[in-house]
Structure 1
Amino acid sequence: MCDDDIHPGLVHDLRLSRRTFGLAAAALGGVAATAAGAQSPVVEKDVEIRTADGVADAALYYPEGKAKWPAVLIWPDVLSLRPAFRDMGRRLAAAGYVVLVPNLYYRVKKAPVIDGTFDFSKPDDREKLTPMRATVTPEGTDRDAAAYVAFLDAQAQTNKARKVGVQGYCMGGPLSFRTAAAAPDRIAAVASFHGGGLFTDQPTSPHLLIAKTHADYLICVADNDDKQDPTVKDKLKAAFAEAKRPAKIEVYEGAAHGWTVKGSQVYNEPAAEKAWAELLALYKKALA
């Protein structure tokens, strides 16, 4: 479901417009408007995190001031840490969170891992990602997740009395499931946006981890991903029900794979803002 062939085409980075906050209010009846009204100046830092496999480069964001806030880990999509996801981290921090956005491929290359534009319709461009993607394994992700959650908890700005959230995009969706299982006592909210491979027939399928977690879930599915395999959402619903984990699973009609990432050719602003508002509502409820 996260196959490169159905991923958005030309990808380039753009900055978030200020009017996106207003669109969120229309998407969910004012849920995001409340959050936008509480926007705060943000501190941002490039950081390095020692993991079991090396040193990961990442971006850290948190609101200015002496207060403490709940923490969130953002797993980016297949193109990894770049300006679009830095903007996302900055925006979430402004809503009152300590946010970490790591480079998926730190084992082989520092971010940004792709220079210039990237066209998923071109085999040569897709091939650039193959060796990097091979370094992101289930076992390595589990180790990374534990290190990233521990790093967030070690920050003076993090309110450790509150739970931690994790969200992922495309291949980051499965990584978010794994994070919830790797740190079940800390992760209380999981969000996946156009996540691929959430339910497979492999022994490493993310859905098999749900019962090990203590999180609420938000699964936002791309319309074209759903059309490719309409059974996945129902299988996921059954898996959540069996594990007795609360989950909201929604297909975003007319929104193509990659629709939430600013700068992608398929970016859908109204649908992206609806998903963002749903995310904020999840965190407001679950990160207590």
Structure 2
Amino acid sequence: MTKQHLHIETRDGVAKAGLFRSATASSTKAGVILYQDAFGPRRALDSMAERLANEGYAVLVPDLFYRNAPYGPFDAKTAFVEENTKAALTALVTGTTQEMTIRDSAAFLDALAAEGVTGRIGTVGYCMGGGRALNAAATYLDRIRPAASFHGGNLASDAADSPHRKAASIKARVYVGMSGTDRSFPPEQSARLAEALRVADVDYLIENYVGVAHGWCVPDHSAFNAAGAEHHWKRLTEFFAETLV
């Protein structure tokens, strides 16, 4: 496994990113952008990117918080519990808008192309990254094919930049994995997202992972659930195998 450290020029500055590829792959034509959760790029996300890369993809993990670097690091188990880190994290998340990440995603796609990734591109996001994965697919129609979200928050909220409002622009296949109980994506939002995708004639699946909590996929998260995480990997790898060809 190789990890390249990239510095990606965006309209607002320079974003650091990791690009992961399997050492045994002679070439990688398909790519994936992995949009981080609220705690930023770290070893836990690197391990997830490595697992995806072992499926034959070039996996890019950009720092969405680069405008505020340096920051952290944060402990995913306690950062939202301790007051001093909770305030810092909340400021990072709310200060990094959907529109910022949508703009940045053009540079992320260009960075993959510059590294020889010429095939289809998929997106996957966790927590705050879930909505960004969907919004990227709704914006870069000719470049992003599949888009996946796991425990994504506010996918169909009242906010003007809520991903469900862009459903009519999505041409990619969409997979959404939601936790059984999640205040950031309650049943009414799930129903609203499903209706928006249905009306837009998007090929989609929303799956409820009963018995797990928000954050269950990420190994250093307090809600990590090993069985649920493996189910997520099965679904994600099958989804990309069907769409990134």
| Structures share fold, TM-score greater than 0.5 | yes
Instruction: Please tell me the residue identity of whatever aligns with 1:57.
Output: K
Measured on the aligned residues, the alpha-carbon RMSD in Å equals 1.8
Instruction: Tell me, yes or no, if the aligned pair for 2:34 and 2:124 is still in contact at 8 Å.
Output: yes
How far apart, CA to CA, are the structure 1 residues paired with 2:185 and 2:137? 27
Counterpart of 2:146 in structure 1 is 189
Equivalent in 82, 96, 106 of residue 56 of structure 2: 96
Counterpart of 1:33 in structure 2 is none
Equivalent in 115, 119, 132 of residue 175 of structure 1: 132
How far apart, CA to CA, are the structure 2 residues paired with 1:283 and 1:193? 14
How far apart, CA to CA, are the structure 1 residues paired with 2:185 and 2:38? 20
CA deviation string 1:189-225 (max 9, x = no partner): 1110100000012221111112112111110001111
Counterpart of 1:10 in structure 2 is none
The equivalences for 1:27-42 within 5 A come to: 42=1
SS of the equivalent of 1:60 reads strand
Relative contact order (alpha carbons < 8 A, sep ≥ 6): 1 or 2 greater? 1
Q: Aligned pair in 2 of structure 1 residues 95, 66: CA closer, same or farther (>3 Å)?
A: same
1:247 equivalenced with 2:207 (yes/no): no
Instruction: Tell me, yes or no, if the aligned pair for 2:33 and 2:122 is still in contact at 8 Å.
Output: yes
How far is the alpha carbon of 1:139 from its aligned partner?
2.1
Counterpart of 1:67 in structure 2 is 27
How far is the alpha carbon of 1:163 from its aligned partner?
1.5
How far apart, CA to CA, are the structure 2 residues paired with 1:229 and 1:118? 22
How far apart, CA to CA, are the structure 1 residues paired with 2:54 and 2:70? 26
**Structure 2: gaps spanning 5 or more residues:** none
Equivalent in 121, 132, 142 of residue 81 of structure 2: 121
How far apart, CA to CA, are the structure 2 residues paired with 1:86 and 1:227? 25
SS of the equivalent of 1:191 reads strand
Q: Identity, % of aligned pairs?
A: 34
Instruction: Please tell me the residue identity of whatever aligns with 1:104.
Output: L
Q: Aligned pair in 2 of structure 1 residues 57, 237: CA closer, same or farther (>3 Å)?
A: same
Q: Larger radius of gyration, structure 1 or 2?
A: 1
Q: Aligned pair in 2 of structure 1 residues 130, 282: CA closer, same or farther (>3 Å)?
A: same
The equivalences for 1:264-275 within 5 A come to: 264-275=221-232
How far apart, CA to CA, are the structure 2 residues paired with 1:81 and 1:61? 13
Instruction: Please tell me the residue identity of whatever aligns with 1:154.
Output: A
